[in-house]
Structures are given as C-alpha cells and as structure tokens.
Amino acid sequence: MKRLLLFTAALLLMGTACIRIPGDARPADTPARIYPDYADVAIPCNIAPMNFRIEEEARQFRCVARGAHGEAIRTAGRTVHFPAKAWRKLLEANIGGEICFEIYAKGADCWRAYPSVHLFVAPDQVDRYVSYRLIEPTYGMAGVMSISQRDLSSFREKEIFNNQLDYDRTSGQCINCHSFQNWHTDRMQFHVRQKDGGTIIARGKDIRKVNLKADGFLSSGVYPSWHPGKDLIAYSLNSTLQFFYAKGIDRTEVIDSDSDIIVYDPQRNRARIVAGDSLQLETFPYWSPDGRTLYYASADITRLAPMRQYYYGMHYDELKYRLMRIPYEPSSDSFGPAEVFYDASAEDRSATFPRVSPDGRYLLFTMARFGQFHIWHRDADLYLTDLASGQTRPLDAVNSPESESYHSWSSNGRWIVFSSRRDDRSFTRLYLAWFDGEGNAHKPFLLPQRDPQQNIRRFKSYNIPEFTVEPVSLSPKDFLKTVRGPALQAEQ
C-alpha cells in the first residue's frame, strides 16, 4: 500500500510538470471567481494546500501557483489540487513574501488569462491543530455530533469523541464545550448532556466524570475556562431558554433566565460561586494569561427583575451585556471585587465572549445589538480592545454582514480562528485570520479542505474552535468507559 501511494504521488508530480500553460491567452478584464475566496489573504507558512474551485464557465482550466522563489506548481481542471509536498516547499521558499495563483480558462473560442490571485505567506506559524464540534444546525434534539480535531498542516481529521458511541434509541446525548489548558491536551474537558450526563475532565491519563451541580447551584457547569497556571476551571452556570421567531429572517433566540460564575478545583473536587448576584446575568468566564484576572460578561437586570417572566417573553432584546473582570490572587486563592471593564450597554450594545491574547495585550470579544448567544445574531461582529491604551475598535478586516461568533487565539497570538455564517447564513464554518505584530487583523480565509466543496456538501456546523499545539492522545474509547460510568458529585 505504501509503495502504491508513493508511486501515485510520483505520477502527480510528473503530471504537473507536463501540464502546458497557454502562451497566447487573452487577458481577462476581471478576476476569476473562485471558491473559497483566497484573494489577498495572509496564510500561515505551515498551512495545508489551499485548494479551490474555479467558478467560471469554460471547457478547460489551468492554474499555476508560483512565488519569487521555489518551483511553481501547475494544475489542470476546474478543481485545483496542489500536491502536499510541492505546496510545502513553495510556502517555505516564500515565507514573508507572496505566492500567486495564475488562472487560465478556455471557452468556445480561446484561452483567457485572469488577473493573478495574490496570497501573503506570513512568517508566523499557526498551531498545528484545531478542535471543534460538528453538529447539525438543529434546535431541540441531539442528533449525530462529534468533537473532532483537524491537523492544519494537512487534511487529517480525527474524532475525539462521538455521541453515537453511547447511543440508544430512547435517549439523546449532546456533547459540547471542549476546552484545554494552555493549548496543550494533557488537561482537557468536555460536557455530556442528557444520557450519561456529566463533565468529562482528563488530567493526563486520569479521566473522571463530575456532576458540577452542587447544592444551591442553578445548573451544572456550562462555558469553561482553564486557569493558565493552577488546577482550576472557571464555569458559568446557566438556566437557558430558547424562543423561536414567528416571522422574519431570524430563526431562534437563546437567552439565560439566570446565570452565575463558579470556579472548580478538580484536585479537591470543590466548586464555589465567585459571581452570583441575583440581579446580574453572569456568563462566559475567561482567565487572563497571567492568571490574575477573570473576565466575564454580565447583564444588569435590576429594573426588570420584578417582571422576569413577562420580560423574557416580550423584551428579550433589552438584554445588554457588559464585560466585567474580577482580580484573583493565586497565592491565597482569593478573589477581589468585580468591576466593569467595558460597558457596552452604555452604547446600547451587548458585548460578550471575552478572550485575552496570550501576551496579555489585547482582548477580543463579540458585540451585537443585544443578547449573549451571538451565533444567531446577524449583526454580531468581532471587536478588539487594546489593554494598554484602552481603545476598542471593530475588526473591520475580519467582519462580514453575517454573524461572527466563537473565537480563539493561537498560542503565539498571531492567528485567530472564529465561526462565521457568512457563506450561507445557515451553517457556521471556520475562518482563520492573521493578527500581525502591529495589532492588525487581516482578511480571513475559510478552513482549507482537500475537496474545496466539502464545506458546502458537509451539512454540519463547526462550533467552538480551539487551537492546540499537539493532538489529543486519548481515544474515543478511552473516554467512553468514563462517560458510561458514575459521576463524581462536586462539593462546595
């Protein structure tokens, strides 16, 4: 089998060298339409081949990928596939420079040469792996879903866990909210809901299932964040409601009727509330990289508390979240008083999902007109606060007219990955964007696939993208035994 693969690869390389590029092609006035759109994007120097499909009407196609250095790659056909080895060599030869795609198409009369598509090869590598949940965009039932990881230097995808491993006909099972400590996989967690529910926490080879709903807690743990230096995990507790729109282009609204923030110590199996004001809806905790600040989002409901049920049914769009922070002292394991970090509600906006860059310089978050579950909000965009200057601005180079929601930083702080509905408004797909050393974001690109149309043909949404520097070593079967076993009850 290995010899066959090597022989096939050799034939592909020989074939690219033999492809003739038309020398008499007439120049086209406009760029070729390609999918995905890779024009003028910055790409990591270790990314998988940026395969694409030419969307022009023609009978024959040619493409040349070339840079100022290295050997050019030639392809034939509407779907452009670059051989992995040749692609890697081309990127390595042009780090800090450009590569371009020269596209040719032959119609009924002649060949046409389209303006070149330019890509900048950034000198910063991206973390090799990204993990995500694959889920059908349903609203009330847990269908077939998995937590998977993708090798960004290739097209290899591996399942971390699949809910069909613990399936039966009478009970559904949702798996969600995977999280890692410091971009490494030796400490990770994810939730299992409904059948065999609990939070799966892996610390090395020790895998346990925990019921985080201690006495007096309004729910089990939901959105997690690992402390960067201690064996602590912050969670929100959320009592979630879901509404459906009777008309218009929006489909559903997800809100919390109540929510708090807790911190869980896996070693002592103890959980405590650190933000639990009954007149505040606290959610989406995230630790700063130095471990001395816990950020979160919070909506003040003082005025509306007496009429909660009426409010949630009729005035959900009045929920405006602010970004908060609590100081934390690791040596004494103690928290100080909470303070407002960014008051989006004063601007009649709602900010949520704070994420601090690894160097502690920037805070990235989403902002929309209202609410906190911005994956369903078309006006949700990414915003950036410079923690040194205090200035906040939208990431215009990254945002689109559709929803931008869940986002994560790479371990070197030079790449962000986020989910977006910009393709068809129905499915969230993953986009990556370079964040350079000057604090500027660049045009994002869709997660590359071996088949460029896979993202269209794969009827799944990508949720919760998280970078890691290494693969998850545990197998789905390693988790399965723990999932099926009893849950350890968290204490206060």
**Is residue 361 within 8 Å of 348, Cβ to Cβ?**
no
Among the listed residues 142, 159, 176, 134, the one whose alpha carbon sits nearest the alpha carbon of residue 458? 134
Lookup: tokens for 94: 């042009």
Q: What is the pLDDT of residue 310?
A: 53
In percent, the amount of the chain with pLDDT more than 90 equals: 80
Burial class (CB in 10 A: 0-12, 13-18, 19+), 203: middle
Q: What is the pLDDT of residue 410?
A: 98
pLDDT in tens, 12-55: 444 555 788 888 899 999 999 999 999 999 999 999 999 999 99
| H helix count then E strand count, the chain | 5, 36
Q: What is the pLDDT of residue 360?
A: 97
* Top-confidence residue, 367 or 144: 367
Residue 375: band (very low, low, confident or very high) from pLDDT cuts 50, 70, 90: confident
Maximum CA pair distance of the chain?
Answer: 78
Q: What is the pLDDT of residue 83?
A: 98
Q: What is the pLDDT of residue 30?
A: 95
248 φψ region: left (φ > 0), alpha (ψ -120 to 50), beta (else): left
Report the alpha-carbon distance of residue 156 to residue 144 in Å, rounded: 20
Q: What is the pLDDT of residue 356?
A: 98
**Is residue 59 within 8 Å of 107, Cβ to Cβ?**
yes
Cis previous bond, 36, omega within 30:
yes
Lookup: tokens for 103: 């596209």
Q: What is the pLDDT of residue 309?
A: 55
In percent, the amount of the chain with pLDDT more than 70 equals: 93
Phi, psi of 165, rounded to the nearest 5 degrees: -70, -25
Among the listed residues 181, 177, 283, the one whose alpha carbon sits nearest the alpha carbon of residue 227? 181
Kindly report the number of other CB atoms within 10 A of residue 48's CB atom: 22
In sequence order, what are the residues at sequence separation of 6 or more whose Cβ sits closer than 8 angstroms to the Cβ of residue 209? 192, 196, 198, 199, 200, 201, 482, 483, 485, 486, 487, 488
**Is residue 250 within 8 Å of 378, Cβ to Cβ?**
yes
**Is residue 118 within 8 Å of 69, Cβ to Cβ?**
no
* DSSP 8-class letter at 441: B
- Kindly state the average pLDDT of the residues 98-119: 95
Q: What is the pLDDT of residue 226?
A: 97
- Position 218 pLDDT exceeds 50: yes
Query: CA separation (Å) from 102 to 76, 80, 435?
Result: 12, 11, 27
This model's pTM is above 0.85: yes
pLDDT in tens, 141-189: 667 899 999 999 999 999 999 999 998 777 889 999 999 999 999 999 9
Report the alpha-carbon distance of residue 258 to residue 273 in Å, rounded: 14
Residue 240: band (very low, low, confident or very high) from pLDDT cuts 50, 70, 90: confident
Of 66-70, 247-251, 266-270, minimum mean pLDDT range: 247-251
Q: What is the pLDDT of residue 2?
A: 45
Q: What is the pLDDT of residue 245?
A: 76
**Is residue 378 within 8 Å of 326, Cβ to Cβ?**
no
Q: Which residues make beta-bridge pairs with 130?
A: 150, 467
Q: At what angle do helices 84-93 and 2-18 cross, to 10 degrees?
A: 60
**Is residue 307 within 8 Å of 323, Cβ to Cβ?**
no
Structural domains in the chain, sorted by start? 2-21+31-121 (2.60.40.10), 129-489 (2.120.10.30)
Phi, psi of 91, rounded to the nearest 5 degrees: -65, -50
pLDDT in tens, 406-452: 999 999 999 999 999 999 888 899 999 999 999 999 999 999 999 99
Lookup: tokens for 302: 């003082």
In sequence order, what are the residues at sequence separation of 6 or more whose Cβ sits closer than 8 angstroms to the Cβ of residue 314? none
